[in-house]
Structure 1
Amino acid sequence: MDVPEVVSSLDSESIRVVTLPDGSVDRRYAVEDNEGTVESRETFGRRIASGTAKSFMTEHLRTDPGGQAVNAAKQAHALGDDVTLLGHLDDPVLDELDVEGFSMGEPADVRIYEFEDGAVMMTDESPDIQTWTLDELRAVVSLDYFAAADAVVWTNWASVNNTTEALEALGAADIDGNVFVCDPGDVTIRDPDTIPDLAGALATLEDSFDVVLSANRAETRYIADALDVTTLDDSSCVRALRDELGITGVVIHASDYAVAARTDETLNVPNVEVDEQARYMGGGDRFSAALAHGLGAGWPWHAALALGNLAASYYIEYGETPSTDDLREEYGATTL
């Protein structure tokens, strides 16, 4: 499929998707000091380091439902999927989500300081997220949801402390599942000694699902380094890491392309160009949800990767989760 075929195929595709386990209230701010708006992260850092600016003002821009699982749920819903969100949703801000949701407690509180060249995110994790286990999930839904789903998108291993144990428990539950996309979040904040346990949990899950690891370039390299996997470039990295993990596939999603290794092939799918950036975070969540949509619907891998690219790029450029109509209008005549 080229891009127009990928976009047109969305008209007839609707699958069942489960996303989990986090959730947050995202408050976005602009930053100001006595010289006015601080336009770049470099300027912000320089003024802090120099000691010339010790006090900053913030202008509240907006408050949104957030969290990787929430972002993935929004993207899957926008693509027309039947979505179940198993998250930490106990806040009125998260009530506006137009998907089936089951809450396991209070969300994180996230403050995002936006600059022209990027954003800085500071997070207060809720106690419910810090202590979450699969038992809390079982208290609100049956594990049958995982067997019935065409695709599961499990996010934010990096910030949800007990996720490794939860993944192991799910793998031991003997579920006859389908596609399982793990987007682990910013693994670089975790001790590299924890990565082998994550690898073991994903390998266990492969007995029940077709497991796909989806991460950005820095996160994937961090995982590879922690497992002593020697790589030269992105293609060799995903191939070697897939072989080491023993799972269905490993994907790097980057601004210039997506590269994936599956059992018998390595694919490189170029991305579309982004003219201007409205967002610097959240594109990867849209990529993973769109990838899960394509794979869960039985698309060829290169088409699923192309859809992930389009969803992520649209969000980065416009700051909105794209619907099928958005993708059709923006990319319907585009070829890769």
Structure 2
Amino acid sequence: MGAECPDSPRRIVSLPDGSVDHCYRVTGPGGARLESRAALGRHLLEDGETFPLEHLEVRPGGQAVNASRQIHALGDDAALVGHLDHSVLADLPFETHSMGPPATIHVLAFDGEECLFPERTDRFAQWGVDDLLAAIDWADLVDADALCCGNWVSFHGLSEVFDRLAARSVDCPLVLDPGAIGLAEYAAITDLFDALAAADDSLEVALSVSQSEYEAAAEVVGVSGDDPTATLSALRSALEISAVVFHGTDEAIAATRTGPTRVETPDVDDPQLTVGAGDRFSGGLACALARDWPWEDALALGNACASHFVATGETGDRSALASFVREQG
């Protein structure tokens, strides 16, 4: 990476997924709108058989897509290499490279929360380095100021990409949100962890995880404890990577080689959307790491991006995030 002015845009490459999300509102007995997943569960247990769906919208989705939208909103140069061959994904306002058709996901929307039902497909299980390099030149990939990857659980070929990055001694931060890692087989997870450890010899690898993802990773490597900060630190040490970053409702924690950093998450009294907030966190984190920000500042930016999205359902730009943070005190 060349020398940058402090406020100059960074080029951040995200990969490899993409989806078309079909969103519905669920109606219960008597035509009343069901307000939560718990309410739907209760009606199912009470032998409910018919639940009409009100179609709300069709929207672009995918972890890499969401992260790129946040990166672009922050004013950086987002470059998305994903599965984008669909009209819903055709007008994204930044650099894109498509590797084929996206996934289809059906989303049940409740008040402040969503439930996702991806269509089953084996297409992405076969994805790998050759598919990536058919869409973007290796030089354009590794010349990035940061890499932001998501949805490893659907694209196990990312492990192969990380192996290639390790062999080529690429020098930039790598943020990985693996997705629902607990759904993967043990051998695939250990292969991923081996690839991340090898890549960290040249890259600064930050594994960005939610509560369930952190617990699944900790179980695989055999670490546990009542203190989440100590457990995250033990997980990072076991994985032999630069950082494990936990993004939660109450706080974000980064366990690094120099020690842990904790930053409180802004309160959101009336959540609008939660699915996709972690992707905005990862996008903000990648922007911060591309500038070599201190971890406290990097976590604060990721938190602001995620919390603003939860509060508004919108991807916040710099001005919106600044106003949101001021309002939060």
**TM-score by structure 1 length?**
0.92
The whole-number CA distance in structure 2 between the counterparts of 1:197 and 1:109 is: 27
Q: What per-residue deviation string (whole Å, max 9, x for no partner) do you get for residues 279-309 of structure 1?
A: 0211100001101111111211110110000
1:20/1:125 CA distance change after superposition, 3 Å:
farther
1:234 is the counterpart of 2:228: yes
> Which one-letter code corresponds to 1:215 in the other structure?
V
The SS at the match of 1:272 is coil
Q: Partner letter of residue 43 of structure 2?
A: R
Alignment of 1:1-336 (within 5 A): 12-36=7-31, 37-51=33-47, 53-116=48-111, 118-172=113-167, 174-332=168-326, 334-335=328-329
Identity of aligned residues (%): 38
In structure 2, distance between residues paired with 1:161 and 1:54: 37
Deviation of 1:333 (Å): 6.2
- Against the structure 1 CA distance between its residues 125 and 101, is the aligned structure 2 distance closer, same or farther, given a 3 Å change threshold? farther
Q: Distance in 2 between matches of 1:168 and 1:134?
A: 10
Letter in 1 for 2:144: A
Deviation at 1:223, TM superposition (A): 0.3
TM-aligned CA deviation for residue 331 of structure 1: 1.5
Equivalent residues of 2:156, 2:188 under 8 A apart? no
Shift in Å at residue 207 of structure 1? 2.2
Q: How big is each residue's C-alpha offset from its partner over 1:84-139, in whole Å with a ceiling of 9 and x where there is no partner?
A: 10000000000121110000011000111011263210001555423211100111
| Amino acid paired to 1:224 | A
Classify the secondary structure of the residue corresponding to 2:27: strand
Give deviations 1:138-183, integer Å, cap 9, x for gaps. 11211212321111001111122433233223322x1332110111
- The one-letter code sitting in structure 2 at the alignment partner of 1:203 is A
Q: Distance in 1 between matches of 2:328 and 2:52?
A: 43
C-alpha spacing 1:103/1:127, structure 2 compared with 1 (3 Å)? farther
SS at match of 1:106: coil
Quick one: which amino acid aligns to residue 39 of structure 1?
A: E
Q: Which runs of 5+ in 2 are unaligned?
A: 1-5
* 4+ residue segments displaced more than 6 Å: none
Aligned partners of 2:109, 2:256: CA distance in 1, in Å? Answer: 37
Distance 2:103 2:227 in 1: 35
Question: Structure 1 228/319 Cα, relative in aligned 2: closer, same or farther at 3 Å?
Answer: same
Asked whether the 8 Å contact 2:112–2:272 carries over to 1, the reply is no
**SS class of match (2:315):** coil
Checking the alignment, whether the CA contact within 8 Å between 2:113 and 2:272 is kept in structure 1 is: no
Q: Which one is further off, 312-321 or 235-244?
A: 235-244
Structure 2 counterpart of 1:156, which letter? N
Name the CA shift for 1:265/1:331 in 2 (closer, same or farther; >3 Å).
Answer: same
- Letter in structure 2 aligned against 1:57: P
On the 8 A contact 2:21/2:107 being kept in 1, the answer is yes
TM-score, normalization: structure 2?
0.94
> What is the CA distance between 1:231 and its match in structure 2?
2.9
| Partner SS state of residue 177, structure 1 | coil
3-state SS of paired residue (2:283): helix
Q: CA RMSD in A?
A: 1.7
Q: Which amino acid aligns with 2:201?
A: D
Q: Deviations over 1:4-55 (max 9, x none)?
A: xxxxxxx93521100000000011110114421222212211222222x212
Cα distance, 1:106–1:130 mapped onto 2, change above 3 Å: farther
